[in-house]
Chain A
């Protein structure tokens, strides 16, 4: 490779946490910065789209793209970056699986606009205007990006080479990925750059997890005093460790919070939500429909619980009859 590898960072429908995670490399970020040539990073450095356009196709070694894809502008940008990059890495849960923004797929564009610009209590009396893609003003035409009807994961829009999972990915995994790239020691295309086994295998509380788990009562974590020394699932707190890809070293569990599945499913699973249901069904120790329903009251929102990061990547997405807001 002649000269330093050229690297781009970009964000789409994102909370900013993934960008923060890059900065969180702390001193490590300096090593990265010294080893690479950053050619595009709108959140931190002043580059323009025209700078990217001016690069030859394939001229960027690797683009790290975080966030889900929801707007026409995001789609245009990721297509441009794909053309200019040798490798594209989906960075973080939103890019990998659709992430938290993907939960908006429970509603369509119409009902989202209806609620946020007309019916929500904060705007209900104001006759608020919906964002329009084109507005004529005396100075000319103003344009806004189009808001798609659905939120997509990055690989539903462009070809993706690797995935860095996590909400956000951990500094260690980012470091490993960058090192692998610099050394040219890359796994086969399409790999998720984290663990291959379920999180429980690396969880420090795994020893306290009973061989056979059967639960009579599910507890909601914010209403429970958690014993930090004991497997959370064994305490009745729904921890998704058994059905989630490892690699994060159980950071949440070490903070007495259950795993919520941000690393996505392991390689064998096609649909995270369906697998999550299957898993809860096998540990819920009731044989009667009424009892099962009652125990399930601790999971008032199954989609938000089992597809928290992966609704856009579900097998079904949604039926045309999605409910309206409110």
Chain B
């Protein structure tokens, strides 16, 4: 019997004003993409506390995708810059904790970029599939 292929679980935080609409548009256009992503809609990518990201990993995500509006396009003017700063720091910290590059990803996806959303999801799913399941070590 063939071993079932590993299906990564990816949590995507999408902002209400850009990426959520893009994801919605991708759905309306019936474009096909991997079903591995669970969307969590937030008003702004700047609302995503790094604690949310860690909790997603804790609860079984193999990868976390952060999405926001392109620079200068944030509905609240600077939420996405804050997201970029957090992401830069968080990535460095996660790598110290043994997380492979690629488990956390940040993408700017505007409301009109349904195709980009599809591509990012496909690409990240493949990348995390190659990395394999996240193996958290509680040490017991």
Contact = CB atoms under 8 A, between A and B. Distances in A.
Interface of A: 105-106, 108, 148-150, 152, 269-271, 273-275, 277-278, 280-282, 284, 286-287, 289, 292-293, 296, 301-303, 306, 314-323
A269 B88 CA distance: 21
Interface of B: 49-51, 53-55, 57-58, 71, 78, 81-82, 84-86, 88-90, 92-93, 96-100, 134-140
A317 B139 contact: yes
Contacts of B136: 316-320
Contact of B55 (A301, A315, A317): A315
Given A316-B58, A319-B134, A287 B51 contact: no
Contacts of B82: 281-282
Contacts of A284: 85
Identify which of A280, A319, A323 gathers the most chain B CB atoms within 10 Å of its CB. Answer: A319
Contacts of B53: 274
A273 B93 contact: yes
Given A274-B54, A319-B135, A303 B84 contact: no
Looking at chain A's contact residues, the main secondary structure is: mixed
A277 B54 contact: no
Nearest to A148: B139
B85 A318 contact: no
Contact of A303 (B54, B97, B134): B97
Given A150-B138, A315-B55, A317-B139, A106 B86 contact: no
A230 B96 CA distance: 33
Contact of A315 (B58, B99, B134): B58
List 6 A-B pairs, minimum CB-CB distance, nearest first. Answer: A150-B139, A320-B135, A281-B85, A319-B98, A274-B50, A315-B54
Nearest to B54: A315
Contact of B93 (A108, A293, A302): A302
A270 B93 contact: no
A321 B84 contact: no
A316 B136 CA distance: 7
Contact of B135 (A282, A286, A292, A321): A321
Given A319-B99, A320-B136, 15 more contacts: A108-B139, A149-B139, A150-B138, A274-B53, A277-B86, A287-B78, A292-B85, A302-B93, A316-B54, A317-B139, A319-B134, A319-B136, A320-B135, A321-B99, A321-B100
A244 B82 CA distance: 21
B58 to A, nearest CB: 5
B51 A271 contact: yes
Contact of B97 (A106, A286, A289): A106
B96 A317 contact: no
Contact of B88 (A150, A152, A282, A292): A292
A319 B50 contact: no
B92 A296 contact: yes
B98 A323 contact: yes
